[in-house]
Structure 1
Amino acid sequence: MSTDRAASGRRLQPNLVLTAKREARGWTSRRRAARELHRIWQAHLPGCPDIESLEKAIYRHETGRVQVRDDAYRRLYCLAYEATPQELFGSVETDGRNASRLVVTSHKFIPAFVGVEQAAQLRARPDAVPGIEHWLDCRVAPVDVISGRCDLHVWPFGVAIFHLVEELVLPNIAALSVWRVQSYKDNMAWATRRIRDLGGGERAEAAYVLSAYWVNEAPWDGDALDTALRILAIPKILLERDIDPGQSLHRAELVERALLAEGFEHADMIPFGIKGISMGYASWSGVVYYPVANQRSLAEDDLVHCELAVQSLWAYSDHLNRLIERGSDPFVPDEYGWRFVRGARSRITNARPQETEQHRSMRNAILATCDLESNLAQAIETLRHSAGGRP
């Protein structure tokens, strides 16, 4: 066989960059390079092959007998030679769109129950203005934050929600998943300190963080895009339970690639997109939305206002139900008793006359996956039979 042709007759295209990078490291023999790459693989990647297999792979990759399409090898070479995939492999990609990026607007909703009196004080702040197009009566004030932008939304029945917006440019979903878990702890601590500083009361405390992701750019198409959005609705699926997220990025990336190749389903996930217009998924963990046709899809504020209304009532009903679990009878002002909760439930669960099919699908998917209706039903029952409910 000619030295410049493969067994199939295909003319070989040696990867001279790989060879030059290896020799620049002083690894004049492929055997030496295999030993060094074996050490790097063991330190950073799972499933390390033996040194003999690595030596054969280096030979095949450098001579062009095999293009470097295996993602583990691509990552290995990038680590070993401190170079980018484009520098080492040029136009050779494992996925034709891998060079693209994931651009997401992250919306975090961080509720705290502050009580009716503290809510009234927060709503009376000079910078608080009526929330435009909010589903329930709400006042909104800007809040300083180190990164992104943030508003504090306050409802008269005693719930305040920080709405934190952050623009993300990421290489993959795994990076978002790690960032999400790591940032939640900081977000909770910050929100607790901030609501107390703003006058929410010394005992006010952030209850949880819920995320919604508005996808602006995605490096996938077809079935892979659909699977990616499903993963984004439950990004923690990429992370192992007992491993520090900061140490598990590589593992998460491998899981992501496997799911993108095999598909991902979840029984409790509900789609709410319309073919050719949008793709959306809601789950207990959060919501993701990708506008395919920007002028015909939902607006970003539609999603935000829906989540704000849902989370405000979820936080209120959860507060009431927790009091019962602790053996206390909740006392609330008459105007926010069981009749108020019943009316709010009707407002948030029933379609409006001018509501579009897209709005209805979004609202139904979010309500079904967050279990708000059962929470509200229990809150109504609780208030009707408590001293504060005054049935």
Structure 2
Amino acid sequence: MIAVEQWTGEEALLLRSVMRLSVRVFAQRLGISPRTVSHWAENTAGVCRPSMAQILDTALAQCTPEEQEAFRVRHASLRDGSGSAATGDARPAPCTVISHKFLPVYLGEQVKRLHAAGIPRAPGPGGLDQAVLPGAHPTARTSNVHVYACGIALVHLEEHRRVDSLTDLARWRYRSYLADRSWVGQRLSCLLDEHGVDVQVRPASLDPEYVLSVYELREHSWTADGLDTALQLLTTPSVLVNRQDPEDIRPLGPGVEDDKFRTGWAHPEAIAFDGGASRGVSGWSGVAYHPRSDERALTMDQILALELDVQALWAVSSHILHLIEDGQDPVMPEEYSWRFLRSAYFRLTTARPTETAQHRVMREAILATSELPDRLRAAQDALRESNS
């Protein structure tokens, strides 16, 4: 049994990290307020009260053997001084990143003609029926329109970037979002025209509701803490730039990125997934991954396949919940009603016999930070109630 002599905010956050839980779910598991978890992130050196230490002791005792071992190893690293303070390589540096953007749009019934015209693609982890059309993006390395029979058109853009700092990448990311969202609307409009979908029956907007990114970190000079901080910043680039004016994204100020590296910054709601052969971080706005040259490492194809289905289902559930917010009864075709969502939920949240440990922790981290399971359950309940 692992014994923690003195629980601090740092140890508490380490426990959440190895359990791979979001702030909200971790707080629920411990029976405490999410504010307490956020306070630990703001005061990592603060010592927990005896009553809180007992709660954390119990939570650690209830962890799986794998989680306890991960906690033991990483806790020893912290106490040796190698896990909390940044090392010499922990500073801004040039790197090469492969950016994957996901831009989903709900088309509803109008997706049928596009789906029929696309090239069929094997279902992903969510078991969704999909076909693929060419994206024809003017600058992306590759671009595709994934057309899901459940009513979603999801554009996937792959772009390769060499940048001098992660702040430069963050500026490019947000600046390009405006142009890419506009381009997606135009591209989908052209595809609907090509396949004879009447303008009068199209959705009111073809603008993606949001954009999520997956970054694969390739060439870089970081090791240890520098790499961990870089992955955290790739996942949450908003901490590096001022986004008040979407058309004029600027760095927050000189030295901001240096300070993040110096202090070993980590977002309190991001969840790390690493298994020795690779390192990754999942957050609300994106996923960052650094593969190792090892046959045990996760592949980008595995991460992208999961994200494609996650983003498609997020868009479906978002459409249903927006209808409820607008005071309407949500209605979906029978084959894509609540039973369809229940099936997708089960497929995404249930481990498969052939699933590796790394794949499992990656899947759980992405699902936890996206909060998709909660949205699927809410949409499923709404559809069941509407049909009753």
Would you say same fold, with TM above 0.5?
Answer: yes
Cα distance in 2 for partners of 1:383, 1:154 equals 23
Matches within 5 A, 1:267-286: 267-275=268-276, 277-286=277-286
Specify the alignment match of 1:185 in structure 2: 178
Deviations 1:116-149 (A, max 9, x none): x221111111xx2122452322111212111112
Contact kept, 8 Å, 1:192 with 1:205, in 2: the verdict is: yes
| 2:119 is aligned with 1:129 | yes
User: CA RMSD for the aligned pairs?
Assistant: 2.1
Larger Rg, first or second structure (1 or 2): 1
Q: Contact (CA 8 Å) 1:178, 1:245: kept in 2 or not?
A: no
**Aligned ranges for residues 259-338 of structure 1 at < 5 Å?**
259-275=260-276, 277-338=277-338
Contact 1:131–1:138 (Cα < 8 Å) also in 2: yes
Deviation by residue 1:155-179 (Cα, 9 ceiling, x = unmatched): 1110110000001111110100100
1:198 is paired with a residue whose SS is helix
Asked if structure 2 preserves the Cα contact closer than 8 Å seen for 1:133 and 1:305, the reply is no
Residue number in structure 2 paired with 1:197 = 190
- 99, 102, 116: which one pairs with 1:106? 99
Task: Determine what percentage of the aligned residue pairs are the same residue.
Answer: 38
Distance 1:252 1:165 in 2: 29
SS of the equivalent of 2:143 reads strand
Residue deviations 1:28-64 (CA, integer Å, cap 9, x gap): xxxxxxxxxxxxxxxxxxxxxxxxxxxxxxxxxxxxx
Assess if the C-alpha contact under 8 Å between 1:272 and 1:279 holds in 2.
yes
Distance in 2, matches of 1:282 and 1:169, equals 22
Residue aligned with 1:109, SS? strand
- Alignment partners' CA distance in 1, 2:123 and 2:354: 13
**Counterpart code for 2:161:** L
Q: How does 1:117-266 map to 2 (within 5 A)?
A: 117-125=109-117, 128-132=118-122, 134-135=124-125, 136-148=128-140, 149-199=142-192, 201=202, 203=204, 204-242=206-244, 246=248, 248-249=250-251, 251=252, 254-266=255-267
TM-fit CA distance, 1:263: 1.1
Quote how far apart the aligned CAs of 1:280 are: 0.2
- Is the Cα–Cα contact under 8 Å of residues 102 and 154 in structure 2 kept in the other structure? yes
User: Following the alignment from structure 2 to structure 1, what is the Cα–Cα distance between the partners of residues 335 and 362?
Assistant: 29
Structure number with the bigger relative contact order (C-alpha 8 A, sep ≥ 6) is 2
Question: Aligned with 1:297: secondary structure?
Answer: coil
Q: How does 1:67-78 map to 2 (within 5 A)?
A: none
Q: Which amino acid is the alignment partner of residue 268 of structure 1?
A: E
Q: How many angstroms does 1:294 deviate by?
A: 4.0
Q: Distance in 2 between matches of 1:235 and 1:338?
A: 36
Cα distance between partner residues in 2 of 1:186 and 1:161 = 16
**How big is each residue's C-alpha offset from its partner over 1:58-104, in whole Å with a ceiling of 9 and x where there is no partner?**
xxxxxxxxxxxxxxxxxxxxxxxxxxxxxxxxxxxxx7798973111
AA aligned opposite 1:114: L
CA pair 228-363 structure 1, distance change in 2 beyond 3 A: same
Cα distance in structure 1, aligned partners of 2:123 and 2:239: 34
Cα distance in 1, alignment partners of residues 165 and 378 from structure 2: 40
- If the length of structure 2 is used for normalisation, what is the TM-score? 0.71
Contact 1:195–1:205, Cα closer than 8 Å, also in 2: no
- C-alpha spacing 1:99/1:307, structure 2 compared with 1 (3 Å): closer
Equivalent pairs, count:
290
Report Cα offsets for 1:324-370 as digits up to 9, x if no partner: 00000122111111111111110111112211111111110000001
Q: Which blocks of at least 5 consecutive residues in structure 2 are unaligned? A: 1-87
CA deviation map 1:202-226 (0-9, x unaligned): 5333221100001111231121111
Q: Secondary structure at the match of 1:108?
A: strand
Q: CA deviation at 1:233?
A: 0.7
Q: Look up the equivalent residue of 1:274 and give its one-letter code.
A: G
Pick closer, same or farther for the CA change 1:179–1:241 going to 2, 3 Å. closer
- Structure 1: segments with no counterpart, 5+ residues: 1-94
Partner of 2:274, secondary structure, is coil
| Distance in 1, Cα, partners of 2:163 & 2:266 | 23
Output the CA distance in 2 between the equivalents of 1:295 and 1:175.
Answer: 32
Q: Distance in 2 between matches of 1:99 and 1:311?
A: 31
- Whether contact under 8 Å (1:98, 1:219) holds in the other structure is no
- 1:130 is paired with a residue of what secondary structure? strand
TM-score (norm 1): 0.70
* Residues 1:253 and 1:353: Cα distance change in structure 2 (over 3 Å): farther
